Structure 1
Amino acid sequence: MRRIQLILLLIYLAGSQAVWATKLKSPIEGYIQPTIFSLTMVMLHDVVNPPAASRFYTYALVSAQSILSAEKNEVLNPKEYIKGFPTLKFDKPTDTNIKLAALYSILETGRLMLPSGFQLETDQQKLLEKWKKDGYADKEITASVAYAKSISPQIVAWSKTDGYLKLSTLRRYRPLKGDAYWYPTPPAYMEAVEPNWKTIKPMVIDSAAQFKPVPPVAYSAEPSSEFYGLAKEVYEVGKSLSAEQRLIAAFWDCNPFAVNTSGHMSIGFKKMSPGGHWMNITSIACNKINLPFEKAIVLHSLVATTLMDAFISCWDEKYRSNRIRPETVINRFWDIHWQPLLQTPPFPEYTSGHSVISTASAEVLTYFLGDNFAYTDDSEIYFDLKPRDFTSFRQAANEAAVSRLYGGIHYMDAITNGQSQGRNLGNFMLDKLKAKGVKPFFN
């Protein structure tokens, strides 16, 4: 009898330990933000430009989404809304945990695609060590990693069909002659960033020019002209910025590589891209409401895809209108020594990229999480900027847009028309999803 009781006790204790180990496991949702931020940090190191960054985020997140949707019918399949999405081969090993596989595939896809992707190997190893400490079995981790490594190469192979690898073979950009056109700005006078980005194949929109905005206000040096007034506005606003306006401009700067000069020395300062900022906002929102893992991955993937198409749309217009930056005009008209608060980015002015991509992202997030979603954005803490509170995604997008006026790098029509461009694109994306029966995640 005692022997039977001892056996039962051991069985009970073993079961209790298993339950306790399960309770000790970190919530798998908590791994999403740091995993995506690992991509951000490598892109920061590589000085990846904003359009290219959105592309890398997209393929990495679509890889994770594909793994989940292959297993669960309730998870949105990328085939449902992404044009030309490939038929993937899913050969899932026994003991695979699809959530672990999805997370690992984000890093694996980034490792295979990013110039310094090898740096993600350290993050991958740390992830495996954390899972072991959380109590996941070795065979479960091994199978999940193997599954991820079978899916990521297929996504990477598909990525090579979007035209990115052909960019370096296209004609190099040369600034147009004429007072109205963009020309490289100080202090580094960098070459134009991604002048052929419109050739990249979009994910959801029909073409780069589908959401072509209204033409920009025509250049004119006449004091009575509308353009002269727009330029004067940038000049006057820049001379009387409040402390709050300066904070707003700095918070949404998102310049991947600004250059400061001192004598003969140049110092580069790196920040996350605008797309990286909105990817982190997505993580913050998901964490706030404890959005289930599958929905959180899908939402990150949808925001990334929206960002990619928004950049394609915006860059199509930038090199069509090729409009001169405020810094050049103000130096020409009023003050040769004037400098904007933010460093002028190395590409044409119209439309405002942050206005386009922020508005598009906000529309997608608003649909899925609600219009009165209050949150604290601490994305820029890493860059010594204090968190900011927002009552909605649209409020944040409006602030991001007007920050370009405060920063002295955009005219107001590029901001407002950029917002319209982004809103139209974001709603097009949502219409596609609604047609597939995709419902909001949280209200």
Structure 2
Amino acid sequence: MRYFLLGWLLISHAAWAKPKPKPDLGTHLQPTLFAVTMVMIHDVVNPPAASRFYTYCLLGAHEITAQRNAGIVSPSSFVREFKALDLPASEPYNYQIAALYCILETGRQLIPSGHLLEAEQTKLLGQLKKEGYGDPVLQASVAVAQAVARQIVGYAASDNYRKLSARLRYRPTKSDGSWYPTPPAYIEAIEPHWRTVRPMVIDSCTQFKPLPPVPFSKDSSSAFFKLAYDVYQTGNTLTDEQRFIASYWDCNPFAVNTSGHMAIGFKKISPGGHWMNITSIATARAKLPFDKTILVHSLVAMTLLDSFISCWDEKYRSNRVRPETVINRYINVHWQPLLQTPPFPEYTSGHSVISTAVAELLSYLIGDTFAFTDNTEILFELPEREFKSFRQAASEAAISRLYGGIHYRDAIVNGQAQGKAIGEFVVARLKKLGVAPVL
């Protein structure tokens, strides 16, 4: 009996002494990316620039992961002008910790108020220490992350972004069919030279030029005037559901409310930020492992950046006037859209292009009937919304711009076609590289 008790005590002690398994590091990814998003909201980063920051923040994490997991395609195999980075191939660093920290470190260096991410870096390391990671591993992982972030920032410096501010200031023309700043803030054109930024996967900004827009006309029987009247009539007969959909997908970082002589700005998430959060929601629901989750987020960010480059190329080529301007001039001087008109030309619809492109990518990677609950807008006091697929969400995002009174129908339809072509191109490149669906 004495030997039995001794044996039982030894076995029990061994079981008690066994270290607890560490939590999956994937649980840290969404809050890490959300921290980056919150800094961009703080800075009122415009939608194209936000897509660039997401892309570079994830590019280093993607490369770190790919170098330690042969099943993850390296961005050096398909991203323009990007070379494989020189990284240590052995311990003591943890590559997943390095990838997480690299997201924050890259954001810290690139985003204007990136210094705000230092508190998030400290918080992340504190949590990881509580989870059982020792100082040697954490310090080595941070060193790798910092080295990679420096290389990513160096790569980013060659994408022409820094040259944008040196270009001639955009001056809107006053012709009837051309875009002109809109009320209430009359903000000047946002990123008129974005087409010059280097894309990630597509060949050039002009590779996916959409069909030309319907030509401007004051004639009440013309196709253009009918498009304008469609926006006007839709705005005057909105259902409660349509109003909600428009507000749900507003994602306007430039919203301004006026009261007398006072103007108050409201900071909101960018459309790309909304889709990055949808990606986090979907990968968490699919219970993807850390490495695949990094891959999906990185590919979504690249697709967003390329979609904005393609869309903005068309916006400042066609330079089409917004519905609000046309309706106030020729239909009803007192009419206002439900949503504030964004400060850039109308054609094509940015929401339609980027949402459709990302939906094509996510439908391939995760599934075309993948249902999810989107809680992105809870931050802005809007309820969760259920979607049966990524394409359904993208379709709703696109039509929301008509409900909001800020886009003509052809900008939405042709924007969807433009986005679909971009998404299909990215998917085709991935298939050629042997990237299979992750779920």
TM > 0.5: yes
**Structure 2 CA distance, aligned partners of 1:218 and 1:13?**
81
- Identity across matched positions, percent: 60
Aligned residue for 2:433? 436
Q: Which amino acid aligns with 2:168?
A: R
Q: What SS class does the counterpart of residue 186 from structure 2 fall into?
A: coil
**Structure 1 CA distance, aligned partners of 2:382 and 2:220?**
39
Task: State which of 206, 218, 224 in structure 2 corresponds to 1:209.
Answer: 206
Residue 108 (structure 1) aligned with residue 75 (structure 2): no
Task: Judge conservation of contact 1:93–1:143 (CA < 8 Å) in 2.
Answer: no
* TM-fit CA distance, 1:18: 3.5
Aligned residue for 2:220? 223
Q: Deviations over 1:7-50 (max 9, x none)?
A: 9967963663443x21xx33211111111111100000000000
Q: What SS class does the counterpart of residue 341 from structure 1 fall into?
A: coil
User: Which consecutive segments of 4 or more residues in structure 1 shift more than 2 A?
Assistant: 5-19, 91-94
Aligned residue for 2:349? 352
* TM-fit CA distance, 1:6: 8.1
Residue 362 (structure 1) aligned with residue 359 (structure 2): yes
* TM-fit CA distance, 1:421: 0.2
Task: State which of 389, 393, 396 in structure 2 corresponds to 1:396.
Answer: 393
Aligned residue for 1:199? 196
**Structure 1 CA distance, aligned partners of 2:299 and 2:63?**
12
For 1:312-351, list aligned pairs within 5 A.
312-351=309-348
RMSD (Å) for aligned C-alpha atoms: 1.6
Q: Deviations over 1:182-208 (max 9, x none)?
A: 000000000000000000011111100
Task: State which of 77, 84, 87 in structure 2 corresponds to 1:87.
Answer: 84
Task: State which of 182, 185, 197 in structure 2 corresponds to 1:185.
Answer: 182
Q: Deviations over 1:212-258 (max 9, x none)?
A: 00100000010110000000000000011111001100110000121
* TM-fit CA distance, 1:400: 0.1
Aligned residue for 2:248? 251
Q: Which amino acid aligns with 1:438?
A: V
Q: Which amino acid aligns with 2:412?
A: I
* TM-fit CA distance, 1:92: 5.3
**Structure 2 unmatched ranges of 5 or more:** none
Aligned residue for 2:16? 16
TM-score (normalised: structure 1): 0.96
Task: State which of 369, 374, 377 in structure 2 corresponds to 1:377.
Answer: 374
Task: Judge conservation of contact 2:63–2:84 (CA < 8 Å) in 1.
Answer: no
Task: State which of 121, 126, 133 in structure 2 corresponds to 1:124.
Answer: 121
Seen in structure 2, the aligned counterparts of structure 1 residues 131 and 18 have a Cα distance that, compared at 3 Å, is farther
**Structure 2 CA distance, aligned partners of 1:413 and 1:123?**
43
**Structure 2 CA distance, aligned partners of 1:269 and 1:54?**
20
**Structure 2 CA distance, aligned partners of 1:87 and 1:35?**
24
Aligned residue for 1:171? 168
Task: State which of 139, 150, 153 in structure 2 corresponds to 1:153.
Answer: 150
- Structure 1 range deviating more: 110-119 or 88-97: 88-97
TM-score (normalised: structure 2): 0.97
Task: Judge conservation of contact 1:86–1:158 (CA < 8 Å) in 2.
Answer: no
Task: Judge conservation of contact 1:36–1:106 (CA < 8 Å) in 2.
Answer: yes
Residue 57 (structure 1) aligned with residue 54 (structure 2): yes
Q: Deviations over 1:109-165 (max 9, x none)?
A: 100100000000000111111111112222221111111111111011000000000
Seen in structure 2, the aligned counterparts of structure 1 residues 397 and 13 have a Cα distance that, compared at 3 Å, is same
Seen in structure 2, the aligned counterparts of structure 1 residues 358 and 245 have a Cα distance that, compared at 3 Å, is same
Aligned residue for 1:300? 297
Task: Judge conservation of contact 1:182–1:325 (CA < 8 Å) in 2.
Answer: yes
* TM-fit CA distance, 1:386: 0.5
**Structure 2 CA distance, aligned partners of 1:50 and 1:335?**
30
Task: Judge conservation of contact 1:63–1:106 (CA < 8 Å) in 2.
Answer: yes
**Structure 1 CA distance, aligned partners of 2:358 and 2:286?**
18
Q: What SS class does the counterpart of residue 267 from structure 1 fall into?
A: strand
Q: What SS class does the counterpart of residue 426 from structure 1 fall into?
A: helix
Task: Judge conservation of contact 1:375–1:392 (CA < 8 Å) in 2.
Answer: yes
* TM-fit CA distance, 1:94: 3.3
Aligned residue for 1:271? 268
Q: Deviations over 1:267-302 (max 9, x none)?
A: 000111000000000000001011111000000000
Task: Judge conservation of contact 2:74–2:84 (CA < 8 Å) in 1.
Answer: no
Task: Judge conservation of contact 1:184–1:191 (CA < 8 Å) in 2.
Answer: yes
Q: Deviations over 1:402-441 (max 9, x none)?
A: 0000000000000000000000001001111111111111
Residue 233 (structure 1) aligned with residue 230 (structure 2): yes
Task: State which of 140, 145, 149 in structure 2 corresponds to 1:143.
Answer: 140
Q: What SS class does the counterpart of residue 380 from structure 1 fall into?
A: helix
**Structure 1 unmatched ranges of 5 or more:** none
Seen in structure 2, the aligned counterparts of structure 1 residues 62 and 10 have a Cα distance that, compared at 3 Å, is farther
* TM-fit CA distance, 1:91: 2.8
**Structure 1 CA distance, aligned partners of 2:137 and 2:17?**
18
Seen in structure 2, the aligned counterparts of structure 1 residues 31 and 423 have a Cα distance that, compared at 3 Å, is same
**Structure 2 CA distance, aligned partners of 1:86 and 1:193?**
31
Seen in structure 2, the aligned counterparts of structure 1 residues 92 and 6 have a Cα distance that, compared at 3 Å, is farther
Q: What SS class does the counterpart of residue 256 from structure 2 fall into?
A: strand
